[in-house]
Structure 1
Amino acid sequence: MSDKPSNIAEFSVAEISFSIKKTMEDAFGYVRVRGELGRISRPGSGHIYLDLKDDRAVLSGVVWKGVASRLKIQPEQGLEVIATGKITTFPGQSKYQMVIDALEPAGAGALMALLEERKRKLAAEGLFAEERKQLLPSLPRVIGVVTSPTGAVIRDILHRISDRFPLHVLVWPVRVQGETSGAEVANGIRGFNALPQGGAIPRPDLIIVARGGGSIEDLWGFNDEAVVRAASESNIPLISAVGHETDWTLIDLAADVRAPTPTGAAEIAVPVKADLIAMTGDLSRRLSSGLNRLVATRRTELRAAEAALPAPRDLLALPRQTFDTYASRLEHALTVNTRSHRSSFQNASARLSPAVLTRSTQKARGDLSVLSDRQQRALGVAVAQKRQGFQHASSRLSPLKLQQQIQLGSERLGTLGDRMERAYGTRLSKTRDRLTTLESLLKSLSYKDVLARGYALVRDDKGQPIRSASSVAPGAALAIELADGSIEAIATGDGVAPPAPKGAPRPKKATAGKSATTQGSLF
């Protein structure tokens, strides 16, 4: 390398950097650059850093905070735009960049591509689903309109509502075009939904979002994501009336109903009052006519039913005849029923004779005596077995344990003895009560009480009771039992006792305690 001094001027790093900066700013003072948005960064400072690119190069760009809030569209990656600004350098990093003052889509095609992409995104979230849509009220009391308060749209809506059905209209003023229109429309929808029921400002029953026609750029605020979400989340039914019939925006898909024009929205919102009055009058006349026809028809049917009914006397004739038939049969049926019950009673009384009850009582008394003897013997055997067992066990125990066991056994034996005596007394008492009951029953069924009232029981020579006089032959031997004794008699046909036949038993003398035997006639 040559040591000869050079005549090339020397510059500092800052001088070179700022000289290049001045040169570039003079050469490209204000430019419009078309390109596709690449990387986009939004730090906390509020500035926006982005890349503009095409198929051969990349240009860095920056949007300062004050400009970012006034952009017509917000930068989105992949969007083709036209950026307006100046080219400058950043000496701190030896790089050049574009300071952007305005950003707009590069023609309708770019906007449509962005619109389709946003539409797909929101549709995937279900914001356009049919099941989210609400029915409009048939006759709202208050209508809220989100639109510009100075345009022709609000005048057309108010005029149409006044002509059809005058009611209360609330206007939420917003910008319908420009950078802030989307946020203002979304705030208007949410503001109406935030009004309380019964508050100082009436809550609308229906919301209309309206704007006149325009280009896609003019209507772009109604494609804002915030507007679509506010319309989809609205609890108040919403009508979208943005642009003309051929125009469409994303709010049309999220609204409950889309109107072709703002005037059409007013026609959808309210019916014609005169038509309602005419329809009400027609329905009233039809109702009155229908009621008259119904009453006439029911009257005719009632009269026909009345003519078809039989006379009251004919209705009662058959029941009266049936009553007479059963009344005539009632006396005979009662007589037959009485005879049947008397026969059943006699059969039952024959089976409950004193002899049967006496045998049953004697048998029960014998069984009780046997059981008492068996119980005494069993008790003695059990006591002996227990005593033998205690004695056998005592031979294997020490004196102290033996004494304890003997005492315990004695106590248990005493307890068992007490329980046995109580059980024996209880059973004996129950058996005694049963015998007393049977004795009372025997006395109630005995014929002795009947004899005490002056009646007599007549038996034949075989000891069988005589139930009728026709069954006694003249000369038959009879035994007559009275309350205080019995007598023997011979039956005669004419009141004179015939001579006793050979072999016939002689009348016996009255036994002790009985009256003397008397020979007489029962006929």
Structure 2
Amino acid sequence: MDLFEDARPGTNAPEFTVSEISGAVKKTIEGQFGRVRVRGEVGRVSRPASGHIYLDLKDANASLGSVIWKTTARGLAIRPEEGMEVIATGRLTTFPGASKYQMIIEEIAPAGVGALMAMLEARRKALAAEGLFDAARKRPLPFLPEVIGVITSPSGAVIRDILHRLRDRFPRPVLLWPVTVQGDRCAPDVAAAIRGFNAIAPGGPIPRPDVLIVARGGGSIEDLWGFNEEIVVRAAAESAIPLISAVGHETDTTLIDLAADRRAPTPTAAAEMAVPVRLDLVAAVAALDARRGAALGRGLDQRGQRLRDLSRGLPRPEALFAERAQRIDALSQRLPRAIEALSRNLHLALSRGAAGRFGPGLLGLLIERRRRQLDRAEAGLRPDAMLAHIRARERTMARGPAGRFGPGLLALELERARASLARASLGLRPDGLTRAIAQRRERLDARGDRLARAGGARVRDARPALEALRRTLESLSPARVLDRGFAIVRDLRGNVVTSAAVAQRAPGLELEFADGRLAVRPATPARRRAPAPEDESGTLL
């Protein structure tokens, strides 16, 4: 037998196991393509719960499966997205379990600025479709915030520029939230800072800012890429505190600029937007105060001139009060005569009232009337008067019709009369009658005393007024006028003569002087004679 006898005649090829083939292929690929850089377009992207990222790199003719391990994915500067053109750096290997080769990506970057801009534009359109960049949702900045929150790096020149500009314009308290402004931690740090400031409760130990400034200096698009991340844009759009974006230079544009309420070209410009100029405010207030004073002065002058114009159209105060002053003078002249007439009327009324209502005769008349009433009552209580009354009743009843005053009714009336007589006889006893008369007299005397006291009090109360009226009457009496040399002229009938014509027609006159009366006869009209001579004293001779 041949030592190299083939079990299967007709072939001399060696046999390999599947693992041997897979291992040989793996060694060949990894030895030939150790560390490579591959340029391509990102195709399908899968992110399972394990944290690894599975994606395809493709071009027009082929597709290369790739994987980014979880530890590597955490440190990537950008997140691969479908349709993005990238340059991936890594190593080729095989996956024996699926008979495929793949690339283990260790670094990935956009394939030039054009790729980044294309990805940025696609993200901008997607976020704009959600309304995150609408002008209607942007809030106005406060005119003068109490506290300003700044989100930036604590060690850069940006925070110094902002503080310096705030100090020059209008010093305000500043809260700094330090963040990383470049690299992998930029986007999550900035988003956390925005949400952290919004989470501060108003009125707490840490003051809540009235406005936020997100600031960073200039740089390349890769350096500013963290401010284009979706997490940062959404945090800026959700901020309840007005936010100013000051990322990069004036020519740099990031997505946070579109989501912010205001965009500043530089961090210094952001500080200028946050607060006004204090000196300008002082000057504006001073100018407004000057204008207010001038307007107040002009208003007072105009109103004063208007008042003077109106006052010229009004009548003089003397003319307004002249009529009323004249009326007061007329009334003051009539007042003494009215008082005199009122005094006379009151005096007459009091005299009549005192004589008629409260005189001694009235009191005596009332007492006499009460005594007569008492005498009549005593006469009615005598036995003979009672018997006469009973007999008169019996006679009246006897003359009445039988239907109305029958024997039964007559007997009933007689019985009632006897009972009344018996009761009256009890009262007609000497002691009872005397007691009743004494009681009546006591009541009568008491009433007489009360009446006398009331009359006396009324007279005493009226006496001062009567005395005053008497004095007034005496002062106005004609006798007092006669004492001053005047005389009263009366005709023969006793009528007062008040004119010369009546005196000439009267057959005779009587002159009353203070000490008596004198009858005279009026002189008859005579021819005009020469005046009689006068003596040296002026008496006619």
- Unaligned 5+ segments in structure 1 are 321-523
Show the counterpart of 2:413: none
Show the counterpart of 2:85: 80
Give the drift of 1:294.
1.7
Show the counterpart of 1:240: 245
Give the whole-Å Cα distance in 1 for the aligned partners of 2:180 and 2:322: 90
Give the drift of 1:316.
10
1:274 pairs with 2:279: yes
1:181 pairs with 2:173: no
Q: Structure 1 residues 190 and 315 mapped into 2: Cα distance closer, same or farther (>3 Å)?
A: farther
Give the drift of 1:67.
0.9
**After the TM superposition, which residues 326-475 of structure 1 pair with which residues of structure 2 at under 5 Å, given as runs?**
none
Amino acid in the other structure paired with 1:114: M
Give the whole-Å Cα distance in 1 for the aligned partners of 2:91 and 2:322: 116
Show the counterpart of 1:154: 159
Give the drift of 1:180.
2.1
Give the whole-Å Cα distance in 1 for the aligned partners of 2:44 and 2:323: 107
Give the whole-Å Cα distance in 2 for the aligned partners of 1:40 and 1:7: 47
Give the drift of 1:276.
1.6
Show the counterpart of 1:412: none
1:291-337 alpha-carbon deviations (Å, 9 max, x no partner): 2222222222122222222346469989x9xxxxxxxxxxxxxxxxx
Which of 308, 321, 343 aligns to 1:303? It is 308
Question: Structure 1 length normalisation: TM-score?
Answer: 0.59
Give the drift of 1:6.
5.1
Q: Structure 1 residues 13 and 274 mapped into 2: Cα distance closer, same or farther (>3 Å)?
A: same
**After the TM superposition, which residues 486-497 of structure 1 pair with which residues of structure 2 at under 5 Å, given as runs?**
none
Give the drift of 1:270.
1.0
Give the whole-Å Cα distance in 1 for the aligned partners of 2:224 and 2:257: 12
Give the drift of 1:162.
1.1
1:190 pairs with 2:189: no
Which of 96, 115, 122 aligns to 1:117? It is 122
Name the SS of the counterpart of 2:23 in structure 1: helix
Amino acid in the other structure paired with 2:125: R
Give the whole-Å Cα distance in 2 for the aligned partners of 1:52 and 1:242: 33
1:129-169 alpha-carbon deviations (Å, 9 max, x no partner): 11101111111111101111111111111111111111101
Give the whole-Å Cα distance in 1 for the aligned partners of 2:199 and 2:112: 38
Give the whole-Å Cα distance in 2 for the aligned partners of 1:141 and 1:278: 21
RMSD between superposed Cα atoms in Å: 2.2
Give the whole-Å Cα distance in 1 for the aligned partners of 2:175 and 2:208: 9
Give the whole-Å Cα distance in 2 for the aligned partners of 1:287 and 1:77: 66
Name the SS of the counterpart of 1:92 in structure 2: helix
Show the counterpart of 2:370: none
Which of 210, 213, 216 aligns to 1:211? It is 216
Which of 191, 201, 209 aligns to 2:206? It is 201
1:63-115 alpha-carbon deviations (Å, 9 max, x no partner): 11111111111111111111111000011111100000111111111111111
Give the whole-Å Cα distance in 2 for the aligned partners of 1:74 and 1:182: 12
Show the counterpart of 1:413: none
1:39 pairs with 2:53: no
Give the whole-Å Cα distance in 2 for the aligned partners of 1:292 and 1:45: 81
Q: Structure 1 residues 292 and 47 mapped into 2: Cα distance closer, same or farther (>3 Å)?
A: same
Name the SS of the counterpart of 2:97 in structure 1: coil
Give the whole-Å Cα distance in 2 for the aligned partners of 1:92 and 1:271: 68
1:12 pairs with 2:17: yes
Give the drift of 1:20.
1.5
Show the counterpart of 2:493: none
Which of 70, 92, 95 aligns to 1:90? It is 95
Which of 279, 293, 296 aligns to 1:291? It is 296
Give the whole-Å Cα distance in 1 for the aligned partners of 2:261 and 2:278: 24
Give the whole-Å Cα distance in 2 for the aligned partners of 1:309 and 1:260: 69
Give the drift of 1:282.
2.2
Name the SS of the counterpart of 1:158 in structure 2: helix
Name the SS of the counterpart of 1:82 in structure 2: strand
Q: Structure 1 residues 2 and 11 mapped into 2: Cα distance closer, same or farther (>3 Å)?
A: closer
- Give the percent of matched residue pairs that are identical in Structure 1 and Structure 2: 63
Give the whole-Å Cα distance in 2 for the aligned partners of 1:159 and 1:49: 49
Give the drift of 1:44.
1.1
Give the whole-Å Cα distance in 2 for the aligned partners of 1:289 and 1:203: 41
1:445-474 alpha-carbon deviations (Å, 9 max, x no partner): xxxxxxxxxxxxxxxxxxxxxxxxxxxxxx
Show the counterpart of 1:520: none
Show the counterpart of 1:171: 176
Amino acid in the other structure paired with 1:16: I
Name the SS of the counterpart of 1:286 in structure 2: helix
1:177-208 alpha-carbon deviations (Å, 9 max, x no partner): 11221111111111111111011111000001
Show the counterpart of 1:455: none
Give the drift of 1:2.
9.5
Amino acid in the other structure paired with 1:304: D
Show the counterpart of 1:61: 66
Amino acid in the other structure paired with 2:117: M
Show the counterpart of 1:512: none
Greater shift, 293-302 or 261-270, is seen at: 293-302
Amino acid in the other structure paired with 2:50: S
Amino acid in the other structure paired with 1:84: T
Give the drift of 1:10.
3.0
Give the whole-Å Cα distance in 2 for the aligned partners of 1:121 and 1:236: 24
Name the SS of the counterpart of 2:98 in structure 1: coil
Give the greater-gyration-radius structure (CA). 2
Amino acid in the other structure paired with 2:290: R
- Unaligned 5+ segments in structure 2 are 1-5, 327-541
Give the whole-Å Cα distance in 1 for the aligned partners of 2:176 and 2:8: 85
Which of 124, 128, 131 aligns to 1:126? It is 131
- Give the total of aligned pairs: 320
Amino acid in the other structure paired with 1:277: V
Question: Structure 2 length normalisation: TM-score?
Answer: 0.57
Show the counterpart of 1:229: 234
1:263 pairs with 2:302: no
